[in-house]
Amino acid sequence: MNEKRVCLLTGASGGLGRSILRHLIETGYCVIATDVKVSSVRQTVNELADALGESVKDRLRPLALDVRSSAAWSTVWKSSERYFGPIDILINNAGVLEPAYTVDLIPESIDRQIDVNTKGTLYGMSVAARSMKERRHGHIVNVASLAGISPVPGMSVYSASKFAVRSASLAAARELREYGVSVSVVCPDGIHTPMVDGAKHLDEAALIFSGAALLRADDVARLIVQDVLKRRPVEVHIPKLRGWLAKIGSAFPALHAYLGPMLVRTGLARQQKFRVSEKTSGVL
């Protein structure tokens, strides 16, 4: 990249965020890498420097950001613009997943998923939109989920939180287009990350594993950095076929009664394979 472009990334220290960060740096972006614990981000930055060379630290700024705090968003955004200059791109990637059947939900889990996944994204989008609208330039990328297109039994709160992210993203895309600001919402299927790995033993999460295979974080990150940031599409489904199936399921909810049990059985069987693989490899 010939011109300096600045990106603020949330959830940068692990899983998908870590992969996005690496692709951003390899592509030449300056990145404000944030996570709720700055120590985790610094460790990730140091590991990147070991792999790519110490010079990458000149284009990296690790910062603590609790996305649940609107005040923290304002502070981080302003200090980052003083450090790197105007922020061109915001990637709202931070998220939490806590599968549970509705009868087993506890208030703390409801609050955590809505606060991080939904409110955290909305806070960031609002701060970015005001700054980018003024400059008539910018791109906001929100990471949602296929669970934000078609409801997922066993993950009602997570699904609801991502439905909200997708809906807000589509609305904001229409609002901001006339000001030269793009909004993209990325809806991936289950990704092989520590967050999803933690659900391998939960029957409530069976539908995450009902696809042919979990997505690779590196593949999703590459698509976001190499494709989404260039084309600025309003919505992206990964993979496309599962995305269309999710849209059909959302349009015809009655189909869940017929297809749901079959998909759950498939997911449970694949979860069992993961468990057997873990035992064989000595992970457990």
The verdict on residue 263 lying in a domain is yes
The verdict on residue 265 lying in a domain is yes
Sheet-wide strand order for 89-92: 60-64, 30-35, 6-9, 89-92, 138-143, 181-188, 235-238
Q: Distance from CA of residue 236 to its chain's centroid?
A: 12
Alpha-carbon distance of 31 to 61, in angstroms, equals: 6
Domain that holds residue 44: 6-279
Sequence-ordered list of residues with C-beta below 8 angstroms from that of 10, at least 6 positions apart, any chain: 17, 34, 35, 65, 67, 91, 92, 93, 94, 120, 124
Number of domains in the chain: 1
The verdict on residue 100 lying in a domain is yes
The verdict on residue 1 lying in a domain is no
The pLDDT of residue 54 is 93
First-to-final CA distance of the chain: 44
Residue 133 near residue 181 (C-beta atoms within 8 A): yes
Q: Is 101 one of the annotated active-site residues of the chain?
A: no
Alpha-carbon distance of 49 to 33, in angstroms, equals: 14
Strand 30-35, strand 181-188: pairing: unpaired
Alpha-carbon distance of 205 to 264, in angstroms, equals: 9
What would the pLDDT profile of 132-141 be if each residue is shown by its tens digit?
A: 999 999 999 9
Alpha-carbon distance of 193 to 95, in angstroms, equals: 12
The verdict on residue 247 lying in a domain is yes
The verdict on residue 284 lying in a domain is no
Q: Which parts of the chain register pLDDT below 50?
A: 1-2, 281-284
The pLDDT of residue 92 is 98
What would the pLDDT profile of 60-72 be if each residue is shown by its tens digit?
A: 999 999 999 999 9
Which of 29, 83, 101, 158 is an active site residue? 158
For 173, the 3-state DSSP assignment is helix
Domain of residue 165, CATH code: 3.40.50.720
Residue 249 near residue 150 (C-beta atoms within 8 A): yes
The verdict on residue 46 lying in a domain is yes
Alpha-carbon distance of 217 to 190, in angstroms, equals: 10
The pLDDT of residue 11 is 97
The verdict on residue 163 lying in a domain is yes
17-49 in b/e burial notation, b at 16+ Cβ within 10 A? Answer: bbbbbbbbbeeebbbbbbbbeeebbbebbeebe
The pLDDT of residue 124 is 98
The pLDDT of residue 279 is 56
The pLDDT of residue 37 is 94
Alpha-carbon distance of 203 to 108, in angstroms, equals: 21
